């Protein structure tokens, strides 16, 4: 599965950790919790950050329903005990949590964070007639486009399986900016893209956030995306 060797830097680890600890900040003040429970909550928050940064996006659904169920029980108990301060706190917590999770879901849907590679696929399905070149490790590579939207794209470099597996993902890749060229029918784009995620199993995949040098380049990129949307390819 692609999640095993997928690393994403696009979403702030601090924000993810805050979301993991967020329910505890509202629940613990109303309970006499043991140190063991507090440590368990922190470890779960760290696990939440790790799993999402490794592409286990389905875990976010489990987290969402678990936290929502816990907050609902807390609200029911507050109603039973007629603890109005706790009721108001829990309602604010639920509203804030829903807003944060909605923001996270929108982030995870972006092309640069989601290659949509299924474990049963022999090869990813690519967009036809889209020519892409990426400057990587001091040479230009042809690439195949997997997913694209207004913010960026996910693509796979056309190189050997061994080259993909030999890639060592380090923190230095987090700030990598790659020159990129896109040609689709009569439209072309040439600019720079920020590396946001890397997939390195049988193919070397990259999640790129477009960073046009000027308005002209951004307009050219937008035209390509709009044309692909019209043909049902772009999201």
In order of start, what are the domains of the chain with their CATH numbers? 2-108 (no CATH), 130-230 (2.40.10.220)
Residue 158 has what pLDDT? 75
Q: Which of 186, 187, 116 is nearest to 155 (CA)?
A: 116
Cα angle at 120 between 114 and 121, to 5 degrees?
Answer: 65
**Checking phi first, is residue 137 left (phi over 0); if not, alpha (psi -120 to 50) or beta?**
left
Q: Please count the other Cβ atoms lying within 10 Å of the Cβ belonging to residue 78.
A: 19
Strands in the chain per DSSP E: 6-8, 130-136, 139-148, 152-157, 177-184, 187-200, 204-211
Query: What three-state secondary structure class fits 153?
Result: strand
Lowest mean pLDDT among 62-71, 132-141, 149-158, 162-171: 162-171
Cβ pair 126, 139 in contact under 8 A: no
Mean pLDDT, rounded, of the chain: 78
d(CA 28, CA 77): 14
Q: What are 188's two structure tokens?
A: 């072309």
Least confident among 115-119, 137-141, 150-154: 115-119
For 199-225, write each residue's pLDDT tens digit.
876 678 888 988 766 667 778 888 888
Write the pLDDT tens digit of every residue in 146-186. Answer: 888 888 889 888 765 556 555 555 556 777 888 999 998 88
In three-state secondary structure terms, 172 is helix
């Amino acid at each position: 599965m692609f999640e095993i060797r997928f690393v994403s830097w696009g979403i702030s680890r601090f924000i993810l950790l805050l979301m993991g600890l967020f329910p505890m900040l509202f629940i613990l003040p109303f309970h006499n919790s043991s140190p063991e429970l507090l440590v368990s909550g922190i470890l779960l928050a760290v696990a939440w950050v790790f799993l999402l940064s490794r592409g286990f996006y389905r875990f976010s659904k489990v987290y969402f329903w678990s936290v929502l169920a816990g907050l609902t029980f807390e609200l029911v108990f507050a109603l039973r005990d007629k603890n109005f301060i706790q009721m108001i706190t829990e309602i604010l917590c639920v509203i804030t949590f829903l807003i944060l999770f909605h923001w996270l879901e929108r982030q995870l849907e972006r092309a640069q964070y989601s290659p949509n590679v299924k474990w049963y696929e022999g090869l990813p399905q690519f967009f036809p007639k889209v020519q892409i070149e990426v400057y990587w490790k001091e040479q230009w590579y042809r690439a195949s486009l997997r997913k694209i939207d207004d913010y960026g794209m996910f693509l796979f470099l056309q190189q050997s399986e061994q080259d993909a597996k030999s890639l060592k993902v380090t923190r230095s890749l987090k700030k990598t900016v790659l020159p990129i060229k896109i040609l689709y029918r009569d439209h072309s784009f040439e600019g720079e893209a920020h590396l946001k995620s890397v997939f390195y199993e049988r193919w070397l995949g990259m999640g790129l956030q477009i960073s046009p040098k000027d308005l002209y380049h951004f307009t050219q990129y937008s035209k390509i995306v709009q044309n692909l949307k019209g043909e049902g390819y772009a999201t």
